[in-house]
Amino acid sequence: MSKFFDFFENYYGSRWKNLFTALKEEDQKVLREVFPSDHTWDNLTPFKLLSGCYLPNEDLDYTKEVDADNLRHFYYMDPGSIIAARSLEVQEGETVLDMCSAPGGKGLILTEALMGNGHIDLNEPSRNRRERLKKVVRDHVPDELRNVVSVKGQDGLNFGLKFKDTYDKILVDAPCSGERHLIHRPSELSKWTPKRSKRLASRQYGLLCSALLSVKPRGTIIYSTCSISPLENDGVLEKLKLKKSDSFEVVELEGEMIDKADKTKFGRLFLPDTSGYGPLYIAKIRKV
Ligand SMILES: C[S@@+](CC[C@H](N)C(=O)[O-])C[C@H]1O[C@@H](n2cnc3c(N)ncnc32)[C@H](O)[C@@H]1O
């Protein structure tokens, strides 16, 4: 615990104690309406900061809110995650890759944006998690729009070599330290050293390089994590800048709620002590 605490106190300084307390509290998720319809949800209060979202209501079991075809109306997720996916700004007709897709909350947002026109690969190498992802697609995406979706099981590192210059847009929502969950597991926390975060940062860098090869010239990538570690967030972009500065440019993030996130050197970071949401780091780059 103390190595963990010292590492982050050293980085976040006087802010760390409040941040640590906020991380221990329950995260503030919202109900996002999937494939929004004209239906008005009289029993739900809109979440004013983010379009198409509602505050959870304990009288409503969102998993049971289904339409005539048994499709679920809502997906329960962190506002930071919604913003990460929306920041890719997927348009109808595009070819999209969600490189690390399960369980699929962000992939659903990207799929919706295609409106049945274009193609999206939802990729997840873990078999169990891929089954969960397929269920999320079945439970939320109407039959007639599902033909634009393929579920793949590749190691994300393969895309750069196997599918060069292929996608208009790529989301790399990378596997990360997930400190919010970690702090509830004392046995793992006691074993934590910065090496753990360094190892993940190196894997994330590999995935981002693969995405950079696999996206078309002028195509864009969102790199996101739910980590608070500087090594896994700006650190990964810093390394990319050092090694491949002439292959990409950083794109400024804009849009709903983005001003609630801290500005970092390359992107934005939603932290629960100030924004109430996250942690969620988001950076956007364009291949040049
Ligand atoms: C942060 S989670 C993704 C969450 C997901 N994007 C969502 O919004 O529901 C990261 C995922 O990356 C997957 N993953 C791990 N190693 C990977 C790799 N080498 N290539 C692609 N995905 C990987 C993990 O199994 C995990 O499901």
CA geometry: angle at 113 spanning 112 and 118, to 5°?
A: 100
User: Which residue, judged by its Cα, is nearest atom 1 of ligand 1?
Assistant: 175
Q: Is residue 177 located within the same domain as residue 105?
A: yes
d(CA 49, CA 106) in angstroms, rounded, equals 18
99 ligand 1 Cβ < 6 A: yes
- State the average pLDDT for the chain: 96
Beta bridge partners of 152: 123
List pLDDT tens digits, range 101-110: 999 999 999 9
Q: Is residue 100 located within the same domain as residue 9?
A: yes
d(CA 13, CA 16) in angstroms, rounded, equals 6
Q: Is residue 71 located within the same domain as residue 147?
A: no
Q: Is residue 142 located within the same domain as residue 273?
A: yes
Question: Count of residues for the chain?
Answer: 288
SS3 of 18, please?
Answer: helix
Q: Is residue 45 located within the same domain as residue 111?
A: no
Mean pLDDT value of segment 240-268: 97
Q: Is residue 61 predicted with pLDDT exceeding 90?
A: no
**Considering only CA atoms, which of 83, 27, 11, 79 is closest in space to residue 283?**
83
Report CA(91)–ligand 1 centroid distance (Å). Answer: 23
What is the CATH number for 164? 3.40.50.150
Q: Is residue 27 predicted with pLDDT exceeding 80?
A: yes
pTM greater than 0.85: yes
Cβ atoms of 269 and 70 within 8 Å: the answer is no
Q: How many CB atoms lie within 10 A of CB 23?
A: 21
pLDDT band at 228 (very low <50, low <70, confident <90, very high): very high
Q: Is residue 269 predicted with pLDDT exceeding 90?
A: yes
Task: Please name the helix (run of DSSP H) or strand (run of DSSP E) that holds residue 139, with its range, or none.
Answer: helix 127-140
Mean pLDDT value of segment 205-210: 98
Q: Is residue 33 located within the same domain as residue 23?
A: no
19 ligand 1 Cβ < 6 A: no
For residue 56, what are its two tokens? 């959870």
- Is the pLDDT higher at 222 or at 60? 222
d(CA 103, CA 206) in angstroms, rounded, equals 21
Q: Are strands 248-251 and 280-287 parallel, antiparallel or unpaired?
A: antiparallel
Q: Is residue 188 located within the same domain as residue 276?
A: yes
pLDDT band at 28 (very low <50, low <70, confident <90, very high): very high
SS3 of 43, please?
Answer: coil
* pLDDT value of residue 87: 98
Q: Is residue 155 located within the same domain as residue 243?
A: yes
Report CA(68)–ligand 1 centroid distance (Å). Answer: 32
Compute the half-sphere exposure of residue 231: CA atoms within 13 Å on the CB side of its CA. 17
108 ligand 1 Cβ < 6 A: no
User: Which residue, judged by its Cα, is nearest atom 10 of ligand 1?
Assistant: 175
* pLDDT value of residue 39: 83
Q: How many CB atoms lie within 10 A of CB 165?
A: 12
73 ligand 1 Cβ < 6 A: no
Active site residue ranges: 226
Answer positive or negative: Cα dihedral of 169, 175, 176, 181. Answer: positive
Q: Which of 77, 108, 139 is the last residue of a domain?
A: 77
Report CA(265)–ligand 1 centroid distance (Å). Answer: 24
Compute the half-sphere exposure of residue 117: CA atoms within 13 Å on the CB side of its CA. 5
Mean pLDDT value of segment 19-28: 95
User: Which residue, judged by its Cα, is nearest atom 27 of ligand 1?
Assistant: 102
Q: Is residue 187 located within the same domain as residue 243?
A: yes
* pLDDT value of residue 83: 98
Cβ atoms of 214 and 161 within 8 Å: the answer is no
Q: Is residue 156 located within the same domain as residue 272?
A: yes
Mean pLDDT value of segment 75-93: 98
* pLDDT value of residue 1: 59
Cβ atoms of 102 and 132 within 8 Å: the answer is yes
Q: Which of 45, 77, 109 is the last residue of a domain?
A: 77
List pLDDT tens digits, range 113-152: 999 999 999 999 999 999 999 999 999 999 999 999 999 9
Q: Is residue 73 located within the same domain as residue 121?
A: no
105 ligand 1 Cβ < 6 A: yes
Q: Which of 12, 42, 77 is the last residue of a domain?
A: 77
Percent of the chain with pLDDT over 70: 100
Q: Is residue 204 located within the same domain as residue 61?
A: no
List pLDDT tens digits, range 29-44: 999 999 988 888 888 9
d(CA 282, CA 8) in angstroms, rounded, equals 19
Q: Which domain holds residue 115?
A: 2-27+80-287
pLDDT band at 63 (very low <50, low <70, confident <90, very high): confident
Structural domain total, the chain? 2
List pLDDT tens digits, range 165-185: 999 999 999 999 999 999 999
